[in-house]
Copies of this chain bind each other. A is one copy, B any other.
Amino acid sequence: MISKNQLKLLRALGQKKQRKAHGLFLVEGEKNVLELVATSLKVKQVFATSEFLAKHATELDAYECIEATLDELTKASSLVSNNAAVAVVEIPKTDAPEPKGMMIALDGVSDPGNLGTIIRIADWYGIKHIVASTDCADPYNPKTIRATMGSFGRVQVTLLDLPRYLNEAKIPVYGAFLEGESVHTTNFSQQGILLMGSESHGVRAEAEQYVTDKITIPAFGGAESLNVAMATGIIMDNYRRQHS
């Protein structure tokens, strides 16, 4: 059973301020909870149905598990209907990653669903680090975590002073713009930072000044733009065709 205090905490962790105060975040849904096992994240508690706990007893052995009904779990979650499991996890302390290999940088990408989808696509293409301006969506927002479809444990997202980071990086910065060199003809270097702006504002001037290569996804029809997560996926695919 989920106690009143536990329910209060689970609900509180839906808010950024409360996540920061507690140093905790929520991982919701069966697949995401099971992904935790393979990560170094510190799990405080797992709330789950008796069926889920019985089925995954071995994997969940190291965690404090609390049995709850599907009804209780659904009440505790703002997001997932029919939620068989939710974990309370410590927000890890991370340092800004050294600029090397291929990385993704996000400027003002404020939608948690987009951020989560970008984390998933980064994971597909083997990108370990995303750096993001401080006004980007919270990587520990339950909506972000959910959209990663389990990839949250394999990609590190660091919110930081993005213009400064780009300025100090010694590797190429590929900025995605509506006008630039086609990604079909771009020669990507092995190391680099792919800089994506938000759908509404694009890459802002403060970050744009550090772009070394402006690139674009060629259009063939009538659509004016692509979703930022979609564009990130297409560009990463073009990079990976050259550097696997």
Chain A residues at the B interface, C-beta cutoff of 8 Å = 117, 120-127, 149-151, 154, 184, 217-227, 229-230, 233-234, 237-238, 240-241, 244
Contact = CB atoms under 8 A, between A and B. Distances in A.
Given A154-B221, A221-B154, A237-B238, A124 B244 contact: no
Contact of A151 (B122, B218, B223, B237): B223
Contacts of A124: 217, 219-221, 223, 226
B221 A123 contact: yes
B226 A120 contact: yes
15 contacts: A120-B223, A123-B221, A123-B222, A123-B223, A124-B217, A124-B226, A149-B224, A154-B221, A184-B241, A220-B240, A229-B230, A233-B233, A234-B234, A237-B237, A237-B238
Interface of chain A: mostly helix, strand, loop or mixed: loop
Nearest to A225: B149
Which of A120, A126, A222, A229 has most B Cβ within 10 Å?
A: A222
Contacts of A120: 223, 226-227
A222 B219 CA distance: 30
A233 B226 contact: yes
Contacts of A123: 221-223
Contacts of A222: 123, 126, 151, 154
Contacts of A233: 226, 230, 233-234
A241 B125 CA distance: 19
Contacts of A219: 124-126
Given A123-B221, A124-B220, A227-B120, A237 B234 contact: yes
A241 B154 CA distance: 31
Given A124-B226, A126-B222, 19 more contacts: A117-B230, A120-B227, A121-B223, A121-B226, A121-B230, A123-B221, A123-B222, A124-B221, A125-B219, A126-B221, A149-B223, A149-B225, A150-B223, A151-B222, A184-B241, A217-B237, A218-B240, A230-B233, A233-B233
Contacts of A217: 124, 237
Nearest to A153: B222
